Amino acid sequence: MLNSKKNIRSLSLNELKEFFVNQGDQAFRGKQVYEWLWKKSARTFEEMTNLATPTRTLLDEHFCINHVEISDEQKSNDHTIKSAFRLADNKTVEGVLIPTKTRMTACISSQVGCSLSCKFCATGKLDRLRNLDADEIYDQVFLLNEQSIRNYNQKLSNIVYMGMGEPLLNYRNVLASVEKVTSNDGLGMSPKRITVSTAGIAKMIKKLADDEVRFNLALSLHAANDKKRDYIMPINEQNSLDSLSNAIKYFYEKTGTRPTYEYIIFKNYNDEIKDAQELALFAKVTPCKINIIEYNPIDEGEFQQASSEKVDRFVQFLESNNLIVNLRRSRGKDIDAACGQLANKLAK
């Protein structure tokens, strides 16, 4: 059960200062507590050792800390680690730490479940139970950073909002979590090391542009043909490729940030040269990058992995059209931690 007390991390720094002033204390006490909550990610008030015992008791009387904890973890043969995060209300989301020679990437979730029902994604088969709060998203990053240091003696270098849920359907909390992750009061990471991935909600992509975000944007495209995309991603029925193209152009013009297109390649569905031609035409609207991703099978899934020959031809065609293309090999497939496979199996 969630604690009936107010979650202290929902308060701003100024609100914390105001609380202490109203209690007859000094405003700087709020700054001390704020640092414990974010930079040090304290899980209890007792951990706040530079506060007097009466102050800690006062905080405990008024507030709670709805901290997230890792309830289980599983390591892949390729050293990828999948974690189950238990939330304060005992719901669970999953996140993944992906180590490579050049980077340490945390893949984190923004919702409990998902409402989009993409046909190739295990998370899409779950119900969307609720949005994650900003502090719950932040905790995933903090915990995976600790995990990275503990296992590989390296801090996180990159964060991708590509786990469970659609980030742009939890817009306010996602942006608030990015603000905390990049703040000097938090983890102090560069926004250019953060990528938010969306299945494609045109009006929210434009809102990102209007809000002048500094992080990277990835669009999960997977087909550059409305009929094919409608079938695998029902969200396309309300967000056609034309509307997404206009939104992406607007985003690039306002922010100067090149979008990334994520394209999972499925056997005999979107793996022909004609599909590559459609993708190239869509992608040339602005400077961009394209990630071609191996398909990762899911339980009761209807798709299969495309042959390596077709994938190579597909990539070569795009490159011959002067597009920047990366072929992403699956990581953590043996523990269901690869792209599209997160389905809370650890929690079962």
Model-wide pTM > 0.85: yes
Let me know if 94 is a catalytic residue: yes
Radius of gyration of the CA atoms of the chain, in A:
21
Contact present, 226 and 192 (Cβ < 8 Å): no
The amino acid at 66: N
10 Å CB burial of residue 28 (0-12, 13-18, 19+) is exposed
Q: What share of the chain is helix, strand, coil (3-state, %, to 5)?
A: 40, 20, 40
The whole-number pLDDT of residue 345 equals 53
Of 94, 136, 262, 278, catalytic: 94
The amino acid at 282: F
Q: Residue 136's closest CA among 40, 66, 64, 36? A: 66
List b or e across 248-262, with b for residues whose CB sees 16 or more CB atoms inside 10 angstroms: bebbbeebebebbbb
Report the distance separating Cα 291 and Cα 70, nearest Å.
30
Let me know if 339 is a catalytic residue: yes
Of 64, 107, 118, 339, catalytic: 339
Q: Residue 325's closest CA among 338, 340, 339, 314? A: 314
Q: All domains of the chain, ordered by start, with CATH?
A: 6-64 (1.10.150.530), 69-335 (3.20.20.70)
The pair of three-digit structure tokens given for residue 267, joined into one six-digit string: 């056997």
The pair of three-digit structure tokens given for residue 151, joined into one six-digit string: 């296992």
Report the distance separating Cα 338 and Cα 327, nearest Å.
14
The pair of three-digit structure tokens given for residue 127, joined into one six-digit string: 């119900």
The amino acid at 147: Q
| Helical (H) or strand (E) element with 69 | strand 69-75
The whole-number pLDDT of residue 330 equals 62
Per-residue pLDDT of the chain (348 residues; tens, 9 = 90+): 455 799 999 999 999 999 999 999 999 999 999 999 999 999 999 999 999 999 999 999 999 999 999 999 999 888 999 999 999 999 999 999 999 999 999 999 999 998 898 888 877 677 788 999 999 999 999 999 999 999 999 999 999 999 999 999 999 999 999 999 999 999 999 999 999 999 999 999 999 999 999 999 999 999 999 999 999 999 999 999 999 999 999 999 999 999 999 999 999 999 999 999 999 999 999 999 999 998 877 766 688 999 999 999 999 999 999 999 999 876 656 655 555 455 555 544
Q: CA–CA distance from 283 to each of 220, 228, 263 (Å)?
A: 12, 17, 11
The amino acid at 194: I
